Amino acid sequence: MASEYAGIDGASSKKPGEPWLSIVGIGENGLAGLGEDARRAIESAEFVFGGKRHLALAAAAIKGEARLWPVPFDVDMADVIALRGHKVCVLASGDPFFYGVGVTLLRHVALGETISYPAPSAFSLAASRLGWALQDVECVSLHGRSIDLIRPHLHACAKLIVLTSDEKAPALLAALLSENGFGPSDFSLLEALGGPREKIRHGKAAAFSHNDIDPLNVVAIHVVADEKARILPYVQGLDDALFEHDGQMTKREIRAVTLSSLAPRHGELLWDIGAGSGSIGIEWMLAHSSLRAIGIEQNAERAERAMRNAEAFGVPGLEVVIGAAPDAFEGLATPDAIFIGGGGSEDGVLDGAIEAMKPGGRLVANAVTLEMEAMLLAAQARLGGSLIRLEVARASPVGSMQGWRPAMPVTQWAWVKP
């Protein structure tokens, strides 16, 4: 039987368990910026993987076979894995473990099989050029990702360093800032940092007009908000007016209590059944970047509205499934938590949600109708959990004066699956 470490021809130049894969971070100054060990890793490699720019920067040290990354990029790293046991080097931009290929590689290769030589990241270089304390800066990667991800970070006085995808992104960023009340922000364009083409230009987001931009760039933003800026507060229970909705949504006070009951934790997945405007799933995802949510909504118009809201709140990763529960549950990833806010009284929805959850999963259901409330009372009597009743009244005009106008009361059942 051939060794599991055999390479393309069955031979192996490394013993099992020894590092065979080097991951070298390289900057725009090329080989001049590398230490001796990193340079030796390139020179001794039988195969060197990288992008066109990386391979050109390291060309003088490459003795083995240079291989371009495939297009589209293979996140499974099949070509690299096929060479396990041979001496392989992967070239990466700057720090391979800060939004870099090193993270992708270690999903498929054991840490003990690798050795890494990081270089300064684009974020570190940008902070050093601006004199910013990196620990006080929000580092955001928009490389290959939606530009809307910047939205939750837009707070007055915040400092952001943003890695972009190409020469078009800085203008799109500047436009997004200007359209949302952040046009006065200090906006710095830093191009090809660390190399002979390095260029830094400063200005205001609203006045950005450059078109001769290097595709390799980062943007630094010192946020200034005008009086109409769309700032997303760091709270649960955001103002209803921030959402596009048709009135069918979990209102802010109830939403705040609901999210508290759902108790999001790192890396978890939420199902939001009867998603409506998407407000619960959106605020769940805003709580931490590791959180995911799937909205289930049978009304196509509302589903599209929820997706627009997700983009406007900077969580474009919200997945919205158009379909009726419980049939729409089929094929979805197993949730850690479930919220039932609409359509919960339909046959099979509550039981289907309970069945879908993993042990330890949390379910929160809100009822405004007597029929749904009866279901939740029966479920609590049968399974346990907690029941609370939420009532909110808002001041509104009564003739020339004001009085309290109560909203419909909400019965909430919260339960943890044994």
Q: Is 77 left (phi over 0), alpha (psi -120 to 50) or beta?
A: left
Q: Helices 279-286 and 300-312 sit at what angle, rounded to 10 degrees? A: 30
Quote the tokens at residue 135. 């620990």
Looking at residue 16, what is its pLDDT? Answer: 52
Closest CA to 261 of 416, 104, 106: 416
DSSP β-ladder status, 186-191 and 159-163:
unpaired
Helix, strand, coil share (%) of the chain residues, nearest 5: 30, 25, 45
Q: How confident is the model at residue 15 (pLDDT cuts 50, 70, 90)?
A: low
Closest CA to 49 of 81, 8, 12: 81
Quote the tokens at residue 65. 């076979």
Q: What is the mean pLDDT of residues 173-184?
A: 98
Q: How confident is the model at residue 10 (pLDDT cuts 50, 70, 90)?
A: very low
Q: Distance (Å, rounded) from C-alpha 301 to C-alpha 389?
A: 31
Closest CA to 224 of 203, 247, 209: 203
Q: pTM for this one?
A: 0.89
Quote the tokens at residue 260. 């508290």
Name 39's bridge partners.
none
Q: How confident is the model at residue 345 (pLDDT cuts 50, 70, 90)?
A: confident
5, 12 contact by CB (below 8 A): yes
Winning range, highest mean pLDDT, from 7-16, 125-134, 240-249, 337-346: 125-134
116, 23 contact by CB (below 8 A): yes
Percent of the chain with pLDDT over 70: 96
282, 310 contact by CB (below 8 A): yes
What domains are there in the chain, each with its CATH number?
21-119 (3.40.1010.10), 123-222 (3.30.950.10), 240-416 (3.40.50.150)
Residue 342 has pLDDT above 80, yes or no: no
Quote the tokens at residue 262. 């759902």
Looking at residue 95, what is its pLDDT? Answer: 96
| Alpha helix (H) residue ranges in 19-168 | 36-44, 52-57, 78-81, 101-105, 122-130
**For the chain, how far is it from start to end, CA to CA, in angstroms?**
46
Closest CA to 345 of 320, 390, 321, 378: 378
> Phi and psi at residue 195, in whole multiples of 5°?
-125, 180
Looking at residue 7, what is its pLDDT? Answer: 38
Q: How confident is the model at residue 248 (pLDDT cuts 50, 70, 90)?
A: confident
Q: Distance (Å, rounded) from C-alpha 362 to C-alpha 354?
A: 9
Is the Cα dihedral 377, 378, 379, 384 positive or negative? positive
Closest CA to 363 of 270, 283, 282, 287: 270
Q: Distance (Å, rounded) from C-alpha 373 to C-alpha 365?
A: 10
Collapsing DSSP to helix, strand or coil, 131 comes out as coil
Name 365's bridge partners.
340, 413
> Phi and psi at residue 22, in whole multiples of 5°?
-100, 135
Question: Which tens digit of pLDDT belongs to each residue from 52-101?
Answer: 999 999 999 999 999 999 999 999 999 999 999 999 999 999 999 999 99
Looking at residue 185, what is its pLDDT? Answer: 98
Residue 18 has pLDDT above 80, yes or no: no
Question: Which tens digit of pLDDT belongs to each residue from 361-402?
Answer: 999 999 999 999 999 999 999 999 999 999 999 999 999 999
| Residue the block writes with tokens 């890396």 | 267
Is the Cα dihedral 14, 18, 23, 29 positive or negative? negative
CA angle, 266 as apex, 263 and 271 as ends, to 5°?
Answer: 60
- 244-253, 255-264, 305-314: the lowest-pLDDT one: 244-253
Q: What is the mean pLDDT of residues 251-277?
A: 97
Closest CA to 257 of 152, 372, 410, 368: 410
